[in-house]
Amino acid sequence: MINKELLKEIIKTPSPSGREDRLIKLLVNKRKDVADQIIYDYQGSASIVYNQKSKFKVNLVAHSDEISLIVNGYNSDGSLSVSKNGGVKIQLYVGTKVRIITDEKIVNGVVGVNDKVIDNSKLNADDLFVDIGCISKEEAKKIVPLGSYIIHDTDLIDLKNNMFAGRALDDRLGVFVIQEAALKAKEMGAKCGIYATMSTGEENTGRGAYSSSEIIKPDLSVIVDVTYANDFQNASEAGEISVGNGGVLCLGSIPNRKLNDLLKTCANKLNLKVQYEVWPGRTCTDGDTIIKTNQGNPVVLFSIPIRYMHSPVEVASYADVESMIDILAEFLLNISENFSLKPYNY
């Protein structure tokens, strides 16, 4: 059974790109007594390490940041003006409750509504305004500093058929998976060095994945992110990925084919299902960044299928999450320095 209370705590904790520290502190505090080491980098990422003395290093990577808006100014009526921070879908903010993340506190607010906004078919971030109840620009400046982050005011809720929904499952759900898989593998007796890395800034720069990989210098990296499910009405992304049908292995030029095969073998051993997606080039994940570090050491991408990507109501399956934790733990038990990581038999 998965730790639903921890998952709910992770999803509730704000972590916009540039202010991931609250989420990273949460996980570090929960794992520091069982980990061998915590590694921090200059970009704010943190890696929780098990089997520190092992020379063969496996880096499990999930990005800790979520998309958000960011305060870029103040209007004369006391509302806040904003810009995008990551792959924001502007239309999904109109008329919603939000939380403004400042250094000291969280301020409640709403994204205002008027006829101009509703009738605008090409909405931009500068069309939005956030009402926090202030009546002047001067009052708003005292409460919300410039550069504060704005996230949707939604947390995790349970749905039918073992599904759940929440804000920014992308990719705090991945953070949950790698931390639980790393600890489980350690408890099961895995011998490889396990580095469960919570990277920063994936939604806008990829900075944390680069810096943490350069510090750790892993032999291989497993990227755990989310991917597009297509099992709902008028899904915009083509494919045959379903929520509840298992984790998703990526086929393409970046993921290492032998690591894909090992993950599939581990799934078969456990009688668990996996699905496949195809990204011939860039995967739009931290894998694209890490493959450019450490002499191009191999990466593999194992993704959680979700519906309604980059919305406040992303939907996933507890069954998929649990199966991916089990498969990754089995993978860590089976991988070793004797495993050939070269993609071709030269």
Residue type, position 146, single letter: L
Average pLDDT over residues 51-79: 97
CA distance 274 to 54: 29
pLDDT, tens digit, 9 for 90 and up, residues 214-234: 999 999 999 999 999 999 988
pLDDT, tens digit (0-9, with 9 covering 90-100), for 138-153: 999 999 999 999 999 9
pLDDT of residue 234: 87
| DSSP class per residue in 32-46 | TTT-SEEEE-TTS-E
All structural domains of the chain, each given as residue ranges with its CATH number in brackets, are: 4-66+167-334 (3.40.630.10), 68-152 (2.40.30.40)
Residue 32 has pLDDT above 80, yes or no: yes
What residues form DSSP beta bridges with 235?
none
What's the pLDDT score for residue 235? 86
pLDDT single digits (tens) 171-191: 999 999 999 999 999 999 999
Of 25, 51, 24, 26, give the one whose Cα is nearest residue 37: 51
Prediction pTM value: 0.96
pLDDT tens digit sequence for 312-332: 999 999 999 999 999 999 999
Residue-averaged pLDDT of the chain: 95
Read off the pLDDT of each residue in 112-128 and give the average, rounded to a whole number: 87
**Average confidence (pLDDT) over 70-97:** 95
Distances (CA, A) of 164 to 6, 179, 181, 227: 14, 20, 20, 16
Arithmetic mean of pLDDT, 255-278: 96
CB atoms within 10 A of CB 224: 28
